């Protein structure tokens, strides 16, 4: 590293850090991005199954979870999904819309990372990898001439001291340590007495320790459309049985609203009043077994598991011999199956971290700390978490841009 004084130093070369970097550099600021890993943008490359769900056609504040639900609005309005789509189109990156307005690359997430790096290069951003940050000091007024922060780090056995006017924390959050998940942002917040809210793994599969454990194991790989409810929230998308428990988009979405000890309720036939339909089927197909009738709507292995749970003693009883009352009970269970996860899979597989640097402490316009001048927090380190569907990247782009315009 030849230069040691910069206008802006950004910690973390992920989604928010890279967008912030070129935005600031395009304004003529000298920008250095410091990355601890050997490669930049690892989560971008892994995202969306390698196709990066980079934004969504429908972005609203209600797609985000935060102690302050209004905080995200200014940044989302300042840099919208349309701004990012325009950039993607400028680079000729082919993309496609999937369910619920989700936009994915047609070819590869690599194209999104290459685009961000190209913008950085054109704007003159410097990026350094393999950096181990050892100390951050805010220079006191007497020491301060133009630079507000001094940063000590080690890079391949060399010790370096750098300084900058604006310091941006874009180090992401705790999810998936092997992809750069880190608590550095919270440590920096603590160092400067900036509050951090309670954190929890989000967009994460559930595990079970009760009767559900063998059921999930037997049904591992089976997916179906369901509506999942918890704490007054509901999502209708696929659920997926895995050998560890339950996953799939609807489960990941509801995990953001789940707390340990909560039950979740699963509607296995969201488009049907199951009790009514079973009573009607009894009139029409009275000689059939319940499992035969249900197998027209649900996968056979699932029906077999439900039979063991709910009508094992009547497995050979023709439908006509079930009372309406019995069918109402079974129908209601199908529309409202209450299960109690023992835990989530945790940060090892979580796509995001709920909670983070308190939005009370940060300007929603600039992302600057309200009490610690020229210190900025962007992206997932903040207490703003998006639903599944490209919202977390949109937050990274929008918050990165907002800070990039002011650093
Ligand atoms: C498997 C997976 C798939 C995902 N898919 C999607 C998707 O399709 N769509 C979507 O919207 N969201 C997706 N997400 C979420 C999305 O990746 C994140 O919300 C987003 O990357 C957050 O951006 P960020 O800049 O805050 O953090 P990150 O992109 O995580 O970047 C943080 C950077 O900081 C670096 N860093 C950490 N500690 C230090 C340190 N001490 N010093 C220097 N650098 C450091 C990290 O190595 C990393 O490069 C996915 C997440 C995962 C884990």
What does the H/E/C string look like for the chain? CCCCEEEEEEECCCHHHHHHHHHHHHCCCCEEEECCCCCCCHHHHHHHHHCCEEEECCCCHHHEECCCCCCHHHHHHHCCHHHHHHHHHHCCCCEEECHHHEEEECCCCHHHHHHHHHHHHHHCCEEECCEEEEEEEECCCCCCCCCCEEEEEEECCEEEEEEEEEEEECCCCCCCHHHCCCCHHHHHHHHCCCCECCCEEECCCEECCCCHHHHHHHCCCCEEEEEEEECCEEEEEEEEECCCEEECHHHHHHHCCCCCCCCEEEECCCCCCHHHHHHHHHHHCCCCEHHHHHCCCCCHHHHHHHHHHHCHHHCCCEHHHCCHHHHHHHHHHHHCEEECCCEECHHHCCCEEECCECHHHECCCCCEECCCCCEEECHHHECCEECCCCHHHHHHHHHHHHHHCCC
Q: Whose CA is nearest to atom 51 of ligand 1?
A: 351
Q: Whose CA is nearest to atom 40 of ligand 1?
A: 36
From the CB of 358, is ligand 1 less than 6 Å away?
no
Find out whether 281 and 230 touch, Cβ atoms under 8 Å: no
Q: What is the set of domains in the chain, with CATH numbers?
A: 5-200+351-404 (3.50.50.60), 206-344 (2.40.30.10)
Find out whether 24 and 404 touch, Cβ atoms under 8 Å: yes
Predicted confidence pLDDT, tens digits, the chain (407 residues): 667 999 999 999 999 999 999 999 999 999 999 999 999 999 999 999 999 999 999 999 999 999 999 999 999 999 999 999 999 999 999 999 999 999 999 999 999 999 999 999 999 999 999 999 999 999 877 666 666 999 999 998 899 999 999 999 999 999 888 887 889 999 999 999 999 999 999 999 999 999 999 999 999 999 999 999 999 999 999 999 999 999 999 999 999 999 999 999 999 999 999 999 999 999 999 999 999 999 999 999 999 999 999 999 999 999 999 999 999 999 999 999 999 999 999 999 999 999 999 999 999 999 999 999 999 999 999 999 999 999 999 999 999 999 999 99
Q: Whose CA is nearest to atom 17 of ligand 1?
A: 43
Find out whether 204 and 66 touch, Cβ atoms under 8 Å: no
- Within its chain, how far is the Cα of 58 from the centroid? 16
State in Å: Cα 141 to ligand 1 middle.
34
From the CB of 35, is ligand 1 less than 6 Å away?
yes
Phi and psi of 59, rounded to 5°? -110, 120
Q: What is the pLDDT of residue 178?
A: 84
From the CB of 172, is ligand 1 less than 6 Å away?
yes
CA–CA distance from 153 to each of 20, 131, 133, 183 (Å)? 21, 6, 4, 17
Q: What is the pLDDT of residue 140?
A: 76
Q: What is the pLDDT of residue 192?
A: 97
* Angle, CA of 366, 76 and 239, to the nearest 5°: 130
Find out whether 383 and 248 touch, Cβ atoms under 8 Å: no
From the CB of 182, is ligand 1 less than 6 Å away?
yes
Comparing C-alpha atoms, which of 263, 274, 346 is closest to residue 310? 274
pTM, whole model, 2 decimals?
A: 0.95
From the CB of 390, is ligand 1 less than 6 Å away?
yes
Q: What is the pLDDT of residue 144?
A: 61
Distance CA 379, CA 20 (A): 10
Comparing C-alpha atoms, which of 11, 7, 346 is closest to residue 185? 11
- Within its chain, how far is the Cα of 294 from the centroid? 35
Neighbours of 148 (CB within 10 A): 21
State in Å: Cα 172 to ligand 1 middle.
5
Burial degree of 125 (CB within 10 A; 0-12, 13-18, 19+) = buried
Q: What is the pLDDT of residue 179?
A: 83
Q: What is the pLDDT of residue 269?
A: 98
Mutate to test the pocket of ligand 1, among 23, 50, 392 (most ligand atoms within 8 A of CB): 392
Comparing C-alpha atoms, which of 404, 354, 334 is closest to residue 376? 404
């Amino acid at each position: 590293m030849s230069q040691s004084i910069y206008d802006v130093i950004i910690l973390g070369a992920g989604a928010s850090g890279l967008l912030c970097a070129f935005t600031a550099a395009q304004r003529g600021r000298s920008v250095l991005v410091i990355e601890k890993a050997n490669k930049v943008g690892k989560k971008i490359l892994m995202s969306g199954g390698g196709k990066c769900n980079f934004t969504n056609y429908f972005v609203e504040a209600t797609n985000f979870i935060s102690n302050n639900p209004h905080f995200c609005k200014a940044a989302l309005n300042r840099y919208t999904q349309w701004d990012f789509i325009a950039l993607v189109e400028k680079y000729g990156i082919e993309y496609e819309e999937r369910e619920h307005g989700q936009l994915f690359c047609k070819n590869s997430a690599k194209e999104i990372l290459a685009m961000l790096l190209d913008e950085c290069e054109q704007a003159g951003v410097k990026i350094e990898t393999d950096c181990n940050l050892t100390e951050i000091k805010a220079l006191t007024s007497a020491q301060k001439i133009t630079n507000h922060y001094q940063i000590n780090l080690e890079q391949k056995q060399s010790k370096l001291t750098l300084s900058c006017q604006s310091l941006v924390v874009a180090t992401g959050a705790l999810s998936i340590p092997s992809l750069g998940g880190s608590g550095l942002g919270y440590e920096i917040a603590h160092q400067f007495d900036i509050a951090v809210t309670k954190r929890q793994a989000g967009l994460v599969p559930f595990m079970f320790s009760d009767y559900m454990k063998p059921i999930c194991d037997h049904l591992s790989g089976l997916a179906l459309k369901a509506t999942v409810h918890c704490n007054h929230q509901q999502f209708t998308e696929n659920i997926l049985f895995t050998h560890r428990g339950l996953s799939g988009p609807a489960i990941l979405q509801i995990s953001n609203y789940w707390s340990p000890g909560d039950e979740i309720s699963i509607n296995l036939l969201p488009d049907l009043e199951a009790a009514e339909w079973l009573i009607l089927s009894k009139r029409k197909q009275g000689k059939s077994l319940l499992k035969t009738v249900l197998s027209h709507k649900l996968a056979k292995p699932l029906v077999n598991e439900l039979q063991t749970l709910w009508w094992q003693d009547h497995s050979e009883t023709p439908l006509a011999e079930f009372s309406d009352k019995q069918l109402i009970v079974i129908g209601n269970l199908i529309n409202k199956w209450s299960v109690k996860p023992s835990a989530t899979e945790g940060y090892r597989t979580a796509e995001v971290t709920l909670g983070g640097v308190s939005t009370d402490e940060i300007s929603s316009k600039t992302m600057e700390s309200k009490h610690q001048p020229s210190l900025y927090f962007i992206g997932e380190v903040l207490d703003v978490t998006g639903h599944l569907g490209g919202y977390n990247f949109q937050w990274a782009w929008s918050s990165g841009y907002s800070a990039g315009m002011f650093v």
